[in-house]
Amino acid sequence: MTTGVMEAPAPSGKDAAYHERRTLIQTSARQSLKRRRGTALAIRIIFGLCMVLVLVPLIFLVVYVTKRGVGALSVAFFTHTPTPEGVPGGGISNAIIGSLLINGLALVIAVPVGLVIALFLIERRGPIPNAIRFGADVLSGLPSILIGLFAYAVIVVHTGHFSAYSASAALAVLMLPIVIRGDEEAMRTVPNELWEAGLALGARQSRVVRSVIVRGSIPGLVTANLLALARAVGETAPLLFTAIGSQVFSLSLNQPMNAIPIVIYQNANTASQDLVRDAWGAAFVLMAAVLVLSIVGRMFAARLTRKSR
């Protein structure tokens, strides 16, 4: 007597081989996915440890300098000029103004020169651009004291006196390779479609670079220039060979001029506790200026990037 229920046919040899291969592929895929996830987790852990190794010294530096330098801050510290050793009430107003003038002039020198060279590197190919890139890379690795000695031999010796503009020239040389390489890389981030669209309209390559590529890379250009400025703000060795420092308030670029790094170097090497305290205060001001400059630069670049989109 039949029950009316049909039994499933037994799998054929081909179906069994298919199911076996499918099971093997699924097992292999699960093992591969598990291995990739384990590798990704290990990489994230390694990068997290590297981030901690970078942040711990930075946080320690910021906290230590803040702790030692905040106590020196006052209205007189920012508005008065230095006083003789043992006389209270001195400040670093001349050093603040001197740093602004020296670094501002250096920025005015380095930015247009670096941009022109970067445009040349974008437009040209061959041994000359490669030699310029190699020279910029070598120059960026030179110790700043050598650049200060070079400025002393070329400018100070020939003019017969120390001056602020010789310090600006030394810092401009220090900033130049960073500006060149940063500007070039920023302009190379512009999509190729913009290059092709400009050339398709019949414009020359130089015109496309000036009118299209430079505008599209403004956020990167701003970041590169501010990075170069942040590098130059804290340099001491070039200033010791050129600006040498001054205890009086002066706006003349043709005379010796004080700067915050010089104040830190000179006051930290004295036995006076008041001058050492002023050195820590100047270090805090310099650190805060660099941090603010970096944060503002990134925010400005991000805002320009959003507007360009």
pLDDT tens for each residue of 235-267: 888 998 998 887 778 888 888 888 999 989 888
Instruction: Please determine, for residue 138, whether its predicted confidence score (pLDDT) is greater than 60.
Output: yes
- Identify whether 3 is part of a domain: no
- Identify whether 228 is part of a domain: yes
Residues 84 and 132 in one domain: yes
Q: Both ends of the chain: CA-CA distance in Å?
A: 79
Domain boundary among 46, 67, 88: 67
Question: Cβ of 118: how many Cβ atoms within 10 Å?
Answer: 27
Residues 57 and 77 in one domain: no
Residues 117 and 50 in one domain: no
Q: In the structure encoding, which two tokens stand for residue 186, read together?
A: 């920023």
- Identify whether 13 is part of a domain: no
pLDDT for 108: 93
Please write the tens of the pLDDT for every residue from 11-42: 556 667 777 777 878 788 888 888 888 888 89
Exposed / middle / buried, residue 249 (Cβ in 10 Å: 0-12, 13-18, 19+) = middle
Domain boundary among 67, 83, 110: 67
Question: Cβ of 111: how many Cβ atoms within 10 Å?
Answer: 20
Provide the 8-state DSSP code for 217: T
Which residue would you say has higher pLDDT here, 1 or 13?
13
pLDDT for 309: 57
- Identify whether 29 is part of a domain: no
Cα dist from 171 to 6, 29, 156, 168, whole Å: 92, 57, 14, 5
Domain extent, residue 291, equals 73-308
Give backbone dihedrals phi and psi of 244, rounded to 5 degrees, phi first.
60, -20
Residues 100 and 51 in one domain: no
Residues forming beta bridges with residue 257, ordered by sequence position: 244
pLDDT for 1: 45
Cα dist from 24 to 16, 36, 66, whole Å: 12, 18, 62
- Identify whether 6 is part of a domain: no
Give the domain CATH number at 109.
Answer: 1.10.3720.10
Residues 62 and 126 in one domain: no
Ramachandran sector of residue 139 (left: φ over 0; alpha: ψ -120 to 50; beta: rest): alpha
Residues 243 and 98 in one domain: yes
Residues 52 and 138 in one domain: no
Which residue would you say has higher pLDDT here, 46 or 213?
46
Q: In the structure encoding, which two tokens stand for residue 103, read together?
A: 């670094």
Please write the tens of the pLDDT for every residue from 276-291: 888 899 999 999 988 8
pLDDT for 13: 60
pLDDT for 283: 92
Residues 174 and 42 in one domain: no
Q: Which residue from 58, 52, 55, 97 is spatially nearest to 287, judged by alpha carbons?
A: 58
- Identify whether 79 is part of a domain: yes
pLDDT for 247: 76
Residues 44 and 152 in one domain: no
Instruction: Please determine, for residue 202, whether its predicted confidence score (pLDDT) is greater than 90.
Output: no
Residues 84 and 58 in one domain: no
Instruction: Please determine, for residue 297, whether its predicted confidence score (pLDDT) is greater than 80.
Output: no
What is the secondary structure of 10-33 as a DSSP string? Answer: PP-HHHHHHHHHHHHHHHHHHHHH
Average pLDDT in the chain: 83
Residues 52 and 152 in one domain: no
Residues 194 and 216 in one domain: yes
Please write the tens of the pLDDT for every residue from 70-102: 888 888 888 888 877 667 777 888 899 999 999
- Identify whether 7 is part of a domain: no
- Identify whether 31 is part of a domain: no
**What is the total count of domains within the chain?**
2
